[in-house]
Amino acid sequence: MTRALPNPDRPLRIGTRGSPLALAQAHETRDRLMAAHDLPDTAFSIVVIKVTGDAIQDRPLKEIGGKGLFTREIEEAMLAEEIDIAVHSMKDMPTEQPEGLVLDTYLPREDVRDAFVSHGVERLVDLQPGQRVGTSSLRRRAQLLNRRPDLEVVEFRGNVQTRLRKLQEGVADCTFLAMAGLNRLGMGHVARGPITPEEMLPAVAQGCIGIERRSGDTITADMLAAIHDAQTGLRLAAERAMLATLDGSCETPIAGLALLEGNEIWLRGEILRPDGSEAIAEEGRGPAADGAALGEEIGRRLLSRAPAGFFDWRAA
HEC profile of the chain = CCCCCCECCECEEEEECCCHHHHHHHHHHHHHHHHHHCCCHHHEEEEECCCHHHHCCCCCHHHCCCHHHHCHHHHHHHHCCCCCEEEEEHHHCCCCCCCCEEEEEECCCCCCCEEEEECCCCCHHHCCCCCEEECCCHHHHHHHHHHCCCCEEECCCCCHHHHHHHHHCCCCCEEEEEHHHHHHCCCHHHCCEEECCCCCCCCCCCCCEEEEEECCCHHHHHHHHCCCCHHHHHHHHHHHHHHHHCCCCCCCCEEEEEEEECCEEEEEEEEECCCCCCEEEEEEEEEHHHHHHHHHHHHHHHHHHCCCCCCCHHHC
Catalytic one of 38, 54, 84, 92: 92
Is-catalytic flag, 92?
yes
Tell me which residues are annotated as active site. 92
